[in-house]
Amino acid sequence: MKRRDFIKTASIGSVAVTSSAISTEANAKKAEHKWKMVTTWPKNFPVLGTGANLLADSITEMSGGRLKVKVYGAGELVPAFEVFDTVSRGTAEMGHGAAYYWKGKIEQAQFFSTVPFGMNATEMTAWLYHGGGMELWQETYRPFGLIPAAAGNTTVQMAGWFNREINSVKDLEGLKMRIPGLGGEVLKRAGGTPVNLPGGELFTSLKSGAIDATEWVGPYNDLAFGLYKAAKYYYYPGWHEPGTTLEAVINEKAYSSLDKDLQSIVMNACKIVNQEMVMEFTAQNQAALDTLVNKHKVDVRKLPDDVLTKLKQLSHEVVNDLAGSNPAAKKIYDSYEKFSKQVKAWHDISERIYYNVR
C-alpha cells in the first residue's frame, strides 16, 4: 500500500510539474507589450493623477505583466494639452484626460465630458454604457485612430475661486476666468472672458492676477493646489461641471495588436477606475471643505439664484447652438437629451425626493 501511494503521489507530482512547465512556456510565447500613458494631470496629483496611476497599475497587474503601462505626468513627455494628438499619432499608446480639452479640434467631444446644468456622474456613466453614448463617442474619435473609455468622474464640482464677490449677473462681466468646455462658452455669453489652462498653471495665474477666477474640481483637489492662498471667495455649485467624465484614450492600432484577454483587461480597468475616482472624491470632499473653512478661513458662498438662472438660460443657448452648428454634434446632443430627460424624470422621484426627506 505504502509503495503504491508513493508511486501515485510521485506521478501526480510529475504531471503537475510538466503542466506548469507547459503553461509557463505558453505564457512566454505571448507577446509582451510596453505602453506609455500620457496625462493632462500633474504627476501623482490626488485622484486625477493617482487615478491614472491606478489605471496603469491595474492593467499591468491584471495582465500578469504582459501589458506594462508607464504613466507620464503633464509636461514629462508632452504638455498637458497634447495628450490627444500624442496618442492619435501613436507616440504614446494611451492617454488620460478629459474630452472637453479637445474642443478646439472636435467641438462635439465636449458632450462626453460634461454639459452645464446637465447630467451628474451616475447619469453620465449610465448614458455612456447603457444609453448609446459610448457608441457615439467611439464614432467621434474613430477618425483620429483613437478608442475612448470613461475612466473617472469628478462628481459635482465647485463653481470655483473668485477674487471678487459675485452678487449679480453684472459681476460676471469682464471676469477673466479659467473655465474649460461648454461652461467657458457660457461665461463668454455672460460677458466674461474664459481661458483654458492646465491644472498645474492655475495657482500662479490666479495669484499673479493674470486671471480673476478659476474653477478646478472640488474641495479635495482644490485644497491640494492651495487655491485658497490665491483667492478669497469659494462659490458653489459647479453648475458648469455637474459630473465630468474623465477619459482614457487608446491608440486603435496598439489596441488591435493586443490579445482579446488583454483588450478586456484594458477596458475593464477603465471601468474600475471610473468608479474608484467617484468613491475617492465622495469620501474626501467634505473633510477637505472643513479644512478650507476652519483652518484656512475660506469664504464659502452659494451663487445667487438669479445668477444661476441666467447661467442656466445661457447654457441652453450654448448647447443648442452647438447642436445646430454641425450634424455630428446634433446626433450626440439628441441622444444625450433623450437619455437625460428620462433619467431626470426617474431621479426626480427617487434621488431628489430622497435628498429632501432624509
Q: Which residues bind Ca ion (CB under 5 A)?
A: 157, 215, 241
Phi, psi of 166 (to 5 degrees): -115, 100
Taking the least distance from each CB to Ca ion, the nearer of 241 and 247 is 241
Please tell me the distance from the alpha carbon of residue 138 to that of residue 122, in angstroms, as a whole number.
Answer: 20
Q: Which is nearer to Ca ion, 131 or 184 (CB)?
A: 184
- Whole-number minimum distance, CB 39 to Ca ion, in Å? 16
In angstroms, what is the minimal distance from the CB of 158 to Ca ion?
A: 8
Q: Are 232 and 133 in contact (CB under 8 A)?
A: no
Phi/psi region, residue 317 (left: phi>0; alpha: psi -120 to 50; beta: rest), is: alpha
Q: Min. distance of Cβ 199 from Ca ion in angstroms?
A: 9
Q: Least Å distance between CB 241 and Ca ion?
A: 5
Specify the residue, 132 or 237, whose C-beta has the smaller distance to Ca ion: 237
Instruction: Provide the minimum distance between the beta carbon of 185 and Ca ion in the complex, in angstroms, as a whole number.
Output: 14
Instruction: Give me the least distance between CB of 114 and Ca ion, in Å please.
Output: 8
Q: Within 10 Å of residue 337's Cβ, how many Cβ atoms?
A: 17
Residue closer to Ca ion by CB (options 215, 276) is 215
Name the residue nearer to Ca ion (CB basis): 131 or 152.
152
Q: Using CA of residue 217, residue 156, residue 52, residue 124, what is the dihedral sign?
A: negative
CA 298 – CA 108 distance, rounded (Å)? 36
Residue in the structure block whose three cell numbers are 503504491: 4
The set of residues, in sequence order, having a beta carbon less than 8 Å from that of 224 and lying 6+ positions away, is 45, 46
Q: Which of 236, 241, 239, 244 is nearest to 312 (CA)?
A: 239
